[in-house]
Structure 1
Amino acid sequence: MGFRFRDVLTSWAVPSLADLLLAALVVRPYLLPGGLDELLSDASVGMHIRTGDLIRSAGSLPHTDPFSFALPGKEWFAWEWLTELSLSLLHSWFGLAAIALAAVVLMTATSALVLRNSLRRGESAFLGLLLVMVGFQTSMNHALARPHLITWLFLALSVTIVERERRGPWRGFWLLIPLAALWANLHGGFAILPVYLAVVCTGLGLEAIWNRTSWRGVWRMVACGLAVGAATVVNPYGIGLHQHLIEFVSSPWAIQMIEEYHPPSPSLGEPFYWFAALGALAGLTAVSALRRRGVSDALVCLFFLISACKSARHIPLFVIAVTPIVAGELRWLWDVARRHGGRRSLVAIVHDMDLGLRPQFLRHSSWLPSLFLLALAFRGPLGLPSTFPEKSFPVEMVERNSATLQAGRVFSTDAWGDYLIYSGYPRQRVFIDGLQDYFGPALGNDYLEMLSGGPRTEELFRHWKFDTALVPVKQPLSRWLKARPEWRVVAETPLAVLLVKEH
């Protein structure tokens, strides 16, 4: 027993190849100009932090919008209250540097689980690492410090548990139930878990019919899926949370307003082409799996591929669920090539090297979490971000004119509304912020009309009684306001202009 315990300690103390490569994979993009600031280029996390601050100070969840003056009295929900509470605590202890670093930790943990699942399926360290690298590049546009990273990690955990259960009945399979309950209080992406289980279960049922095999695994999956669905109701809003999600996904206006929910296109840049390549592999994998009567794998590939093709926001979920299955199919092709090539072929030599490296990729050590803790302790000397990036937000302008902004009825963009909420808490109120689904199409269309300087802009500004405006210089509204004699420019930079209305 002592010998085994020493082995465990040694394994935990010695850095593994997986640790080094995963750290290099995730951190590499942030070694470029901009660094970890890129993680904070969306200020919605600032609103989540302040919601957590509000929950901590009040000791309860808010029921009306605490940040906007647009819809007084309308019911408002802190759907991700547990994440917001955690972000608030982390921010109060270590500032925005900890939020950025926590995002890196979540992405690294997700990548580690995807790699492990790919190795379990594919057995090839080279192929597993290659697919994880491709998957990470595919998801880069969504690599932001926001609560959705929790859904990435929890889906990867769920896939790990389901994959283990599919190899044989496992008591740990039922951990999905408390996982679902926790997930429902952390992020709205929890809905993907019962859907994923339903897809897997349907595939396993069709396999049982086609192959005339036992239904035991199917019934276990059904029972767990039903329990998972019930567990998601354990949240402060009960079934109301599910109703909100259904309303959101069925709202064409909300989907139209949020660019992330648009279908992938070349405008995404390099990640689009990585997605196209991985999507093609997933399609071929589905065909190959069906030829082997692996209906469940085929359905998972097709479901997540179609979902990602409809909405770019779902690309990371596609990567997490499908990468291990693709790795398994590629292993089958690799084995065919190795058998045909002979024992002395290049493929056979690479295969032998692969087998030697695989244990290193399945083991993790204490080095990676230790490095993250050291980075947190020395966040100042390391230059970790202490505020949102000035290239995306008018940070200095807002700091200099905080009293003016907090005293006025401010019109600004939804993205800058999130930043104003963060920087001016608790006094700052805004017209609109990043919760487009909350504000609805009527107010949203008025917002777009004003931002574009449309025909009704003057009427709407009068209706909403705006006396302060903080808008991007490039927006048509900026020119419209400057042309009005009652509006005076207080400050202007190449990024933003701040104006106040003279009475």
Structure 2
Amino acid sequence: MMLPRWLGPGAIAFVVVWLLLLAAGRSAFFRDPGTFWHVTTGELVLKDGFLRADPYTFTFPGTWWVPYQWLGEVGMALAHRVGGFDVLLLGAVTILATVFAWLTARLLGTGLHPILVGAVIALALAAAGSHFHVRPHLVTLAFMVIVLSLLTAADAPGPRFNRLFWLIPLCVIWTNVHGGVLGGIGTIGVAFAGWVGFWVLGLPTPVMTRRDVRVLVLVALGCGLSTFASPYGLDMLKTWNVIMGAPELRDIISEHRPLDVTAPYAWPVLALAGVYLFVLAGVKPRAVRATWLLPLVWLALTFSRCRHASLFTVAVVIAITAMWTHTRWAHWLAAHRPDLYQPGRDGVRPWWANVWLPVAVVVIAFGLQMGRVPLPLIGSGWAVHDPEYWPVEVLDALKANEPRPGEPNKLFNSGYVDGGFVIYHAPGYKVFVDDRCEVFGGPWLKEFSETEQSPEPGPVLLKWEGRYGPYDFALTRTATPIDDWFASSPTWCVVKVTPTATFYKRR
């Protein structure tokens, strides 16, 4: 069925993905503790300026720490001011829907049947979905799509290298939003090196002269220097080095772990890798272009750390879009199954045909949330925190006992994920731990993780009290060894017990 000229397939794809993610992400998108402290940090930056010391814990008070995602955090804080977690969810879902609608429109532009395109996009969503959270890293996903699109567009006869200079201001913004800029710069460097290498080997490449090589060096240098375009300068690089240089995180933080091919979340990733390799196998070896091989780099990185799965996903879809018409599979389908593949199937439409409907639905949803109109999916009150995952049911007790300035405020939390929750909901406490790996370091977090899982955590808990001072409060996960230790101690009294968490106060 042909769509009218005023309605583009990208618009339809946006609305479908947008509604799907609003439904699926109501609470699932808020299962990362970073969401909470990112908002609080953004507020602190707006109020006090750029931070350079830890303001949240009693274990590392005043320790060197810079919020290297400060611009993304400020954006989250401003969105939260406007409409709370509903607007944060709306923003996250809108970014993701824009990304996958763009990918859908690009893939449809090859002439593939919408059913085939829908299957690939559905697989891509499944492969990337485990890393969809309300955090600045979603901007990395969107910016990576821009980077890969510019690179694949340039990797063709008659390149327009001048467009590549747009990568420099993009990296400047990216540097201040999320550390994923390192992945973007690395991707740019690999692509440029591939182009030069292919030129030397006489393979297809946009590089034709030494002048082209100099242009690429200039762009790469500008992108690299962009990492200093931040109010934190070298401290940003120091933070990234601490995080990426801590091997213990692979055993502690789920998103830093290697891809577990036996886990269900990995199966769509492996299936998408199979689709990519199948399409790549259809290209004659001497016709392969360097940017079509970039998904192999991100596949290797995904096996190293599963957090890269979403970036591998968009790299695959963009590569398939670029190389499809050069495959033997495309030629065979065009000759034998024109119902499944017909180049030029979709007519040319004005740009606004893919834009007006997404803008309309987002504006309507934003208006409903601003007006506090309760409606499923798009209205106010839709975003929630799962009480089976977060200690929501002890919030009343936490707030009722929240210390005022100058009062004892040391709260031991038995799970690092609860640190961010308390930082946001009850900032009067100083927490024991949260998920800011750069503050605590790998060895310290490893000891905490081992104690959390130990059947007899008491000796270590007492050792920590001797090191950091007596705890004034405790928030534990109910029916865990740490919870049992606090429950059996005469020093502590139970304030509130819930199936998820228990709140204690020192007698």
TM range (shorter): 0.7 to 0.9
In the other structure, the counterpart of 2:425 is 423
In the other structure, the counterpart of 1:78 is 67
What CA distance in whole angstroms lies between the structure 1 residues aligned with 2:150 and 2:227? 18
Read off the aligned partner of 2:272 and give its amino acid letter.
L
Counterparts in 2 of 1:350 and 1:340: CA distance versus 1, 3 Å? closer
In the other structure, the counterpart of 1:495 is 500
* Residue of structure 1 aligned with 2:200, choices 187, 192, 209: 209
What CA distance in whole angstroms lies between the structure 1 residues aligned with 2:7 and 2:65? 47
In the other structure, the counterpart of 2:461 is 457
What CA distance in whole angstroms lies between the structure 2 residues aligned with 1:112 and 1:396? 38
1:42-61 superposed matches below 5 A:
42-58=32-48, 60-61=49-50
What CA distance in whole angstroms lies between the structure 2 residues aligned with 1:408 and 1:72? 13
1:178-217 superposed matches below 5 A:
178-211=169-202, 214-215=208-209, 217=212
What CA distance in whole angstroms lies between the structure 2 residues aligned with 1:46 and 1:179? 27
Return the offset for 1:364: 0.8
* Residue of structure 2 aligned with 1:231, choices 206, 226, 247: 226
Return the offset for 1:69: 1.3
Counterparts in 2 of 1:291 and 1:310: CA distance versus 1, 3 Å? same
In the other structure, the counterpart of 1:344 is none
User: Cα deviations across residues 196-225 of structure 1 (Å, max 9, x unaligned)?
Assistant: 111111221222122267235544333211
Is 1:31 the counterpart of 2:23? The answer is: yes
User: Cα deviations across residues 371-392 of structure 1 (Å, max 9, x unaligned)?
Assistant: 1121122134124445533232
Read off the aligned partner of 1:325 and give its amino acid letter.
A
* Residue of structure 1 aligned with 2:11, choices 16, 19, 27: 19
Is 1:276 the counterpart of 2:276? The answer is: no
What CA distance in whole angstroms lies between the structure 1 residues aligned with 2:501 and 2:283? 53
8 Å CA contact 1:282–1:305 kept in 2: the answer is no
Return the offset for 1:125: 5.2
What CA distance in whole angstroms lies between the structure 2 residues aligned with 1:88 and 1:262? 29
User: Cα deviations across residues 1-49 of structure 1 (Å, max 9, x unaligned)?
Assistant: xxxxxxxxx96xx4433222232134325435xx512211223111011
1:323-342 superposed matches below 5 A:
323-331=317-325, 332-338=327-333, 340-341=335-336
Counterpart secondary structure, 1:485? coil
* Residue of structure 1 aligned with 2:375, choices 355, 371, 382: 382
Is 1:310 the counterpart of 2:304? The answer is: yes
8 Å CA contact 2:493–2:506 kept in 1: the answer is yes
1:283-322 superposed matches below 5 A:
283-286=277-280, 288-289=282-283, 291-297=285-291, 299-322=293-316
8 Å CA contact 2:411–2:429 kept in 1: the answer is no
Return the offset for 1:404: 2.1
Structure 1 residue runs of 5 or longer lacking an equivalent are 1-9, 342-346
Return the offset for 1:282: 3.0
User: Cα deviations across residues 85-142 of structure 1 (Å, max 9, x unaligned)?
Assistant: 111111111111100110001101211333344456x443534443222111111111
What CA distance in whole angstroms lies between the structure 1 residues aligned with 2:383 and 2:120? 34
In the other structure, the counterpart of 2:141 is 152
8 Å CA contact 1:135–1:319 kept in 2: the answer is yes
Which structure has greater helix proportion? Answer: 1
8 Å CA contact 1:18–1:361 kept in 2: the answer is no
Read off the aligned partner of 2:463 and give its amino acid letter.
E
8 Å CA contact 1:411–1:468 kept in 2: the answer is yes
Is 1:485 the counterpart of 2:490? The answer is: yes
Counterparts in 2 of 1:236 and 1:318: CA distance versus 1, 3 Å? same
In the other structure, the counterpart of 1:6 is none
In the other structure, the counterpart of 1:5 is none
8 Å CA contact 2:246–2:442 kept in 1: the answer is no
Read off the aligned partner of 1:391 and give its amino acid letter.
E
What CA distance in whole angstroms lies between the structure 2 residues aligned with 1:113 and 1:222? 29
Counterpart secondary structure, 1:357? coil
Identity value in percent: 21
8 Å CA contact 2:111–2:341 kept in 1: the answer is no
User: Cα deviations across residues 416-454 of structure 1 (Å, max 9, x unaligned)?
Assistant: 1101111113x2321111102321134324423442343
Give the paired residue count: 479
In the other structure, the counterpart of 2:83 is 94
What CA distance in whole angstroms lies between the structure 2 residues aligned with 1:360 and 1:43? 43
What CA distance in whole angstroms lies between the structure 2 residues aligned with 1:250 and 1:440? 10
Counterparts in 2 of 1:174 and 1:119: CA distance versus 1, 3 Å? farther
Is 1:246 the counterpart of 2:241? The answer is: yes
8 Å CA contact 2:92–2:138 kept in 1: the answer is yes
The worse-fitting range, judged by mean Cα deviation, of 361-370 and 230-239 is: 361-370
What CA distance in whole angstroms lies between the structure 1 residues aligned with 2:479 and 2:442? 24
1:257-268 superposed matches below 5 A:
257-266=252-261, 268=263
Return the offset for 1:156: 0.7
What CA distance in whole angstroms lies between the structure 1 residues aligned with 2:320 and 2:257? 25
1:369-448 superposed matches below 5 A:
369-379=359-369, 380-383=373-376, 384-385=381-382, 388-406=385-403, 407-412=408-413, 413-425=415-427, 427-448=428-449
Return the offset for 1:177: 0.7
What CA distance in whole angstroms lies between the structure 2 residues aligned with 1:171 and 1:76? 38
| TM-score between the two structures when normalised by the length of structure 1 | 0.88
What CA distance in whole angstroms lies between the structure 1 residues aligned with 2:154 and 2:291? 14
Counterparts in 2 of 1:371 and 1:89: CA distance versus 1, 3 Å? same
What CA distance in whole angstroms lies between the structure 2 residues aligned with 1:157 and 1:469? 46
The worse-fitting range, judged by mean Cα deviation, of 291-300 and 156-165 is: 291-300
Read off the aligned partner of 1:423 and give its amino acid letter.
H
What CA distance in whole angstroms lies between the structure 2 residues aligned with 1:130 and 1:357? 18
RMSD (CA atoms): 2.6
Counterpart secondary structure, 1:469? strand
* Residue of structure 2 aligned with 1:176, choices 167, 188, 203: 167
| TM-score between the two structures when normalised by the length of structure 2 | 0.87
Is 1:103 the counterpart of 2:92? The answer is: yes
